[in-house]
Structure 1
Amino acid sequence: MSHNNYIDLFLDKEFRTKLIATYQTNKIGRSFDVNEINSQLRELFAWITSQVNKEKLYSNRKPSFDSIKTKELARCIIEIANMGLSINPYDKEAYLFIHWESHCEQVFPTVQIGIQGMNQFYGACSKIKSTNFSVVHDGDQFEWYGENTPPRFIHSYTTDGNAIVAAFSVITFTDGTFYCSYIGTNEIQSIISDKTQMMDEAGISAWVNFTSRCVRNVILRRTFNSLANLLGLLPNNRSINDSGVVVKVEQQTPKVNQTAHFTEESVSDEDFAALLANQLDQ
């Protein structure tokens, strides 16, 4: 049985050594040991396999991970590690997406930062004292004073079941200044209307069941995208473009520790790769 190209990447020892070395040089004050990195890598490739199978199951003619060049997939995985974030998609710190570049007729993966990853960067920024991301329900007391002054907001738990009419963020800096962002009623209603129609394969929409949390994540992400480049929230000279994709400001190559060793797993990497390949064959 021949492995799919991305499964070959999972077995690539040189790639894994580089991944571990990259985590050892991240700059947000976190450390992952070798066992944790290996576990995250398995979770990632199991998730990739599930995405490939999902595209096959629903006969979607969309680009899938099995059509991506191995070196491009490796680049994006290393990119996540270079920011010090977990590569396990279930940790919600960073995600891999794929898109079609029409000008060169190729499929490329990209990296976008998840909500938990954004919270990591907020917490690691020495310029930020505190953050607040809130939704406003009909019946709450709310007055907006602009980008430089925190709004007046009094929430009553009796309004939790009412319609959401606004969302706002307040970033408090260590020098006593503020950055405030606001989404008004019309835009909120438009976002909710559009998103609640988007359901997964099981017919479930998080926007129906967890509307308040989803709206809060919208203002959190919008605020992060506005401040990420201004404050240098991303480490290692990374920035975010207008589409929310992580891009390099300049090329950096981490020093690879050739003596890195791998702890034996109860299931070998070769057997795990064979399991992934077998799932593709079904």
Structure 2
Amino acid sequence: MTMRPRQGQAEPPELGDAIRERSVLLGLSYRLLGSLVDAEDAVQETYIRWYRLTDAQRRQVGSPRAWLIKTASRIGLDMLTTARARRERYVGEWLPEPVPAPDTWTSHHDSDPIDPADRVSLDESVSMALLIVLESMTPAERVAFILHDVFRYTFPEVAEVVGRTPEACRQLASSARRRVQSTRSTTVEPAEHAAVVRSFKSAWETGDLATLITLLDPDATAITDGGGLVSAALEPLLGADAVARFLLGVYERQPDLAIREELVNGELGLVATGAGHTLAVISLSHHGGKIDHVWAVRNPQKLEAWPAPDTKS
């Protein structure tokens, strides 16, 4: 939780300005790290550093927002570097932590719902497809791309965070942009995406193997992230037939499985529940009406923001 003045205690103007930036910092940190838990930790560390400043030092800060964003970005850069080592030891495939619609999720560090402002704003910059591409970048590329292309910071400003020259940061962002453009499919309208997701859900629920295979691209890939805590495929599933049969096998092993449509990282996705628990959050991408990627997060540590329907507050 972000430290705040005690009740009844006067709040200096510069402190109030800093606190109001929490949602911006959370959104930035999530885009940098792909994890709500890590993002919340990064924001907390940012505020710890802010409150460690003396009153005189804080008054010398011309823009608390700029100071906080720069600090959060540096913390995120450091965390990305260490996260790479952790993910090399991760059991199975690692996927970014999915975020639900802003009006439904709660903090990982508090049993009470967080302030409505303290949520990640959802747009295409948090889509699962883009987060997957960001994972393929170096930490410096990712920070440069997000600060410049998403948050519209100038390259001299990015250079202060990354510790390189503005021209080097321009090259980092350009390299990252090429990665994004090379993997980004043609933009799909929300209505078209919703229709494909609903057709996929219907075929899965009814056990219609033929329709599932028809909906999937012949070279479709499915990735499941269990983190070694629950059962999941340790390697990507390749090909429409393999993906379809795997999905139907899930139903056979979990007869009480229920699937509902929900926004996942700003796009319609699916949430699978059973025995009163959220078992998986699923994102889909498609091109020309054919699903080419299925991303299923099963690691329960990444599903804390996704309570089963009967446990929602």
TM-score after normalising by structure 2: 0.23
TM-score after normalising by structure 1: 0.25
Q: Which has the higher contact order (CA 8 A, sep 6+)?
A: 1
Return the structure number with greater helix share.
2
Return the structure number with greater strand share.
1
